[in-house]
Amino acid sequence: MDAVSLREVVKNFGAVRALDGLSLAIPQGTIYGILGPNGAGKTTAIRLIAGLLEVDGGEVRLLERAPGSAEALANMGYMPQAAALYDELTVRENVAFFAACYGRNEASMADAAVEFVGLQERAGSQVRTLSGGMKQRVSLACAIAHEPKILLLDEPTVGVDPALRAQLWERFRKMAAGGTMILVSSHIMDEAERCDTLGLILRGRLLAEGSAGEIRERAGTDDLEGAFLTLAGSENEAA
């Protein structure tokens, strides 16, 4: 059973077609990276999966359930691009609140999530006193505290320093080994290298899919960035 599947998904915003027949199938335990330039449709795809938007055509499924259904919601964690936290509450209070929204009231769960993002020393600080990067990490902790089977991360490590980013990725890897599917949108090629599978999206369509190695090979380049530019360039010519 795929954790997440999109079949021929179409999404329009007025006259703009954000997704144009996008199909994806992501198995459980996989880290899947969505790459693409600004406006390619990455965030739209994630928000459709989260149930924050509705499709205009095609179908989205989470563990074979409709987005927004009780089962889908209970098994999903979502970290939006903006931090989305209560500034006046402390780090621990924020994390514990969202965990409790999933019926997970154990104090240990919030503490574990705070430790996951390396903020145990600031657990008692109000969120408004934190730096932008730290807020991102609290936001991540809020998304994972209830141990979801499906984790949607919209540019999760923006503003996070390289050492901590490496540490977070180690932990994502552990979660995936435990069966969690992680969908990451990113601009950072170093991050893309760490994903099991990459999907390159351009103008709402899947341009190429495979491991980082496979994509480089297909484009005939040494690095992912070059591969992306080559593939996008040939698509532009075709268009």
Partner 1 sequence: MKPRNVMLVAKRVVRQMRRDRRTLALIFVVPTMMVLLLGLVLRAGEGKLTLLVAAEDARMEAAATTAAEALRGMGPADMTIAAVELSEGYERLRAGGAEGMLVLPAEGDPRLVLEGTRPPVTDALTRFAQQAALMVQSARQGELPADGPAPELEREFVRAGPELDIVDGLAPAFISFFGYFFVFLLTSVAFLRERQQGTLERLMITPIRRLEILSGYMLGLGFFALLQAFVIVTVTVVALHIHMFGNLVWVFLTVALLTLGAVNLGILSSTFARNEFQVVQFIPLLITPQALLSGTFFPLAGMPDWIVWLSKIMPMTYAVEVVRAVMVGGSGIDETVVWRGMLVLLGFALLFLVAGARTLRRGPA
Binding site for partner 1 (CB under 8 A): 47, 50-53, 68, 70, 73-74, 76, 78, 80, 82-87, 98, 101-103, 142
Kindly state the smallest distance separating residue 86's Cβ from partner 1, in Å.
6
21-60: b or e for each residue (b if 16 or more CB lie within 10 Å)? Answer: ebebebeebbbbbbbbeeebbbbbbbbbbbbebebeebeb
Q: Which amino acid is at 97?
A: F
C-beta closer to partner 1: residue 67 or 206 = 67
Kindly state the smallest distance separating residue 91's Cβ from partner 1, in Å.
14
C-beta closer to partner 1: residue 49 or 176 = 49
Kindly state the smallest distance separating residue 43's Cβ from partner 1, in Å.
10
C-beta closer to partner 1: residue 101 or 166 = 101
For residues 86 and 25, give the distance between their C-alpha atoms in angstroms, rounded to a whole number. 34
C-beta closer to partner 1: residue 78 or 172 = 78
Kindly state the smallest distance separating residue 209's Cβ from partner 1, in Å.
26
C-beta closer to partner 1: residue 31 or 72 = 72
* Angle in degrees, CA 44, 146, 87, rounded to 5: 70
Strands 2-13 vs 150-154: parallel, antiparallel or unpaired: unpaired
Kindly state the smallest distance separating residue 80's Cβ from partner 1, in Å.
6
Q: What is the dihedral of CA 205, 35, 144, 176, to 10 degrees?
A: 100
At residue 129, φ and ψ (nearest 5 deg) are: -90, 0
